[in-house]
A and B are shown apart, each in its own frame.
Chain A
Amino acid sequence: MTCLIDFTLDRKSGTATYAQLIQQVEHALRLGLLMPGDQLPTAKQVVGRLAINPNTVLRAYRELESRGLVEAMPGLGTFVRRSLVAPHDPELEAALGAWVATARAAGLGDDDMRSLLEFALSPGQRETA
């Protein structure tokens, strides 16, 4: 059986392996690469690719299950329950596009804009927003 998604590991990132697996599933859910009803790779398939402890995979899947994103069906596998594809909002996208154009005109580079966005999303800023 082939897998719908493949996991990769950044062994130097400092992010725990199970957290990397969770991030990659959520990313695929956001991009629509995984949709409700799709099966996640089995622990054995992931282990066969990455040579990691199968408990790490099961732990990531349990966490995804507790977030309501996937569901484990005993004996069958783990399946996607909910998509994370953001609803398409043309107005919001246009506003962001305009902001990027203004920022670029003001001389900001991509990294400057990323820093600004990250700052705006940081916990301290979120509380005041």
Chain B
Amino acid sequence: MTALEATGLGKRYRDTWALREVFLSVPRGRVVALVGPNGAGKTTLMRLAVGLHRPTTGHLRVFGAEPYGEALAQVAYVAQDKPLYDEFTVNEMLNVGRHLNPRFDLAGARDRLADLNIPGRARVHQLSGGQRAQLAITLAVAKRVDLIVLDEPLASLDPLARHEVMRGLMMAVAETGLTVLLSSHVVAELDEVCDHLVLLSRGRVQVAGDIEDILRAHRMLTGPAGMMPGGAYEVIGEDRTERQTSLFARLREPIPDPRWTAHELSLTDVVLGYMRSPMSTHFPPPVLAERDDVA
């Protein structure tokens, strides 16, 4: 079953479309990197996924159901400001979670916090930014949900805290097989954590798919200036110097011309390459077929 399925999804705030004609299909168990420039619609998509907004057009289904009412027991949302009660202790926050969620895994949450060296008696306002993020994620995991949605979980954390937050999150994925949708500006740090990419641009999906497939399909081609290589490929971006041409390209087959070198790309390279060419899109085949008329 798909974890997230968007068909013709759109959201308008007064005169402005925050999301338009979004088609997405995210398999269960994926860790999804939701990236894109500010105002691309990331937060809107996340809030739609957890039932805080309703679509203006189309549908968004979470594990097959629209995310309202009972279906919301399957999802948890950690907003960017990590809403916690400052004056409560960590243990009191766990109690709040237990009373609000019938399936709350109190023992599991305590073990997790002990693993992370977060003392139960500490007050929330005494915790570091990283510990606050850990506590918010622990509360979300303890709800025993199938989908956790995290808005910028790494923002304003130092590198060590980022690593620890990701470590905690990935351990939860390893234990429970849950699906994660997380937005971030720091694409470089998502490389090893996420296995699925959704790049939004001006309210539309620009790139979507499993990261491994996306990386396999794209190369930076470098070759002599004033010519183009033969073969089946599409150029997404290019850069020319007096002596050399560099093409950011999607390949359908290896380039046969030995004068050209195909360099593998990192997730950051691919994301930046597409962000520089906002008119280029890349979807897995089924979604592409549906969107042929608008692509």
- Min CB distance A61 to B, Å, is 13
Q: A11 vs B195: C-alpha distance in the bound complex, in angstroms?
A: 16
> Is B293 close to A, CB under 8 A?
no
Given the contacts A14-B264, A50-B192, A55 and B171 also touching, CB distance less than 8 Å? no
Complex: chain A residue closest to B166, CB-CB: A51
Interface residues on A, range: 10 to 19
Complex: chain A residue closest to B177, CB-CB: A54
The interface residues of chain A lying within 8 Å CB-to-CB of B264 are 14
Complex: chain A residue closest to B263, CB-CB: A14
> Is A96 close to B, CB under 8 A?
no
- Min CB distance B277 to A, Å, is 23
Q: A54 vs B212: C-alpha distance in the bound complex, in angstroms?
A: 14
Q: A17 vs B170: C-alpha distance in the bound complex, in angstroms?
A: 15
- Min CB distance B289 to A, Å, is 26
Do A47 and B174 touch (CB < 8 A)?
Answer: yes
Complex: chain B residue closest to A46, CB-CB: B174
Which chain B residues in 186-227 approach chain A with CB under 8 Å?
191-195, 212, 215
The interface residues of chain A lying within 8 Å CB-to-CB of B191 are 11, 17
Q: A113 vs B87: C-alpha distance in the bound complex, in angstroms?
A: 66
The interface residues of chain A lying within 8 Å CB-to-CB of B163 are 51
Do B29 and A9 touch (CB < 8 A)?
Answer: no
Select A47's contact among B30, B164, B167, B212, beta carbons within 8 Å. Answer: B167
Select A56's contact among B164, B171, B195, beta carbons within 8 Å. Answer: B195
> Among B167, B174, B192, B264, which residue has the most Cβ atoms of chain A within 10 A?
B174
> Is A60 close to B, CB under 8 A?
no
> Is A52 close to B, CB under 8 A?
yes
Do B167 and A51 touch (CB < 8 A)?
Answer: yes
> Is B255 close to A, CB under 8 A?
no
Q: A43 vs B30: C-alpha distance in the bound complex, in angstroms?
A: 15
Q: A14 vs B265: C-alpha distance in the bound complex, in angstroms?
A: 8
> Is B70 close to A, CB under 8 A?
no
Do B195 and A51 touch (CB < 8 A)?
Answer: no
Select A43's contact among B31, B174, B194, beta carbons within 8 Å. Answer: B174
> Is A44 close to B, CB under 8 A?
yes
Q: Pick 11 A–B contacts, CB within 8 A, sort by A.
A: A17-B192, A43-B174, A47-B174, A51-B163, A51-B164, A51-B166, A51-B192, A52-B170, A53-B31, A53-B192, A54-B173
